[in-house]
Amino acid sequence: MSPAQITPKISGIILAAGLSTRMGEPKQLLPFGDSTIIETVIDNLLGSKLDEVIVIVGHEAEKVQAHIQHKPVKIAFNPDYQQGMLTSAQCGVRSISASADAFAMTLVDLPLITPDLVNLVIDTYVQTEGGIAVPSYNYRRGHPVIFNRRYAADLLALDGASGGVRSLFQKYADDIHYVPVDTDRVLWDIDYRADYEEALRKSSTA
């Protein structure tokens, strides 16, 4: 069997349904580079080895979709987005292709994660026996996180009191393969205006 036949198919999931409460406006649509934050994240995933990219929308869904409808992505609406990020993660898992062997999950406010960083996590996932691959910078977990599809049922069974997706890291700690990276870009999410301004600075000096 050739390598192309045994390489697992991995779906990418971007969680972009949040309220952006701390930012005060939809951070998905803030200008970033030549486009917006969400378009930058989409392009970074599309430029990687992922087999498909799924974007989960919720808050200001129509505005967000208007910015990304020209992209070759699957868009899924999470009607329960106000109940928190877990519902968006579950919406994403329900949206992956039937042929997907695994799914990579990331947040919309991480525009500094380049295709090379995504590919590093993908390559490590493919090469190791562990079912979960997590990039790590200075012993802190980052994104994207890749899960084998066998964890989908566990994720879909979680509720608000379970501790969210992080609870799977505890339950399946022995299945995790950490991928050391030499940049904090896998951690740098944008919650506040100062985070946004710093991300712009980091991007312009890359």
Give 84-100 pLDDT, tens digit per residue: 999 999 999 999 999 99
pLDDT of 1 above 90 = no
> What is the band of 103 on the pLDDT scale with cuts at 50, 70, 90?
very high
Report the pLDDT value the prediction gives residue 68, as an integer from 0 to 100.
96
Report the pLDDT value the prediction gives residue 187, as an integer from 0 to 100.
93
More confident call, 3 vs 145: 145
Report the pLDDT value the prediction gives residue 37, as an integer from 0 to 100.
96
| Cα dihedral: 116, 118, 124, 126 (round 10) | -110
Q: How does 102-114 read in b/e, with b if 16+ C-beta sit within 10 Å?
A: bbbbbbbbbbbbb
> What is the band of 130 on the pLDDT scale with cuts at 50, 70, 90?
confident
Domains of the chain: 9-201 (3.90.550.10)
- Alpha carbon of residue 132 to chain centroid: 14
pLDDT of 58 above 60 = yes
d(CA 21, CA 26): 8
Segment 161-182 shows an average pLDDT of 92
Helix segments in the chain, DSSP class H: 3-6, 37-46, 61-68, 85-95, 115-127, 152-157, 166-171, 193-204
d(CA 138, CA 205): 22
pLDDT of 113 above 60 = yes
pLDDT in tens, 8-31: 999 999 999 988 877 878 899 999
pLDDT of 4 above 50 = no
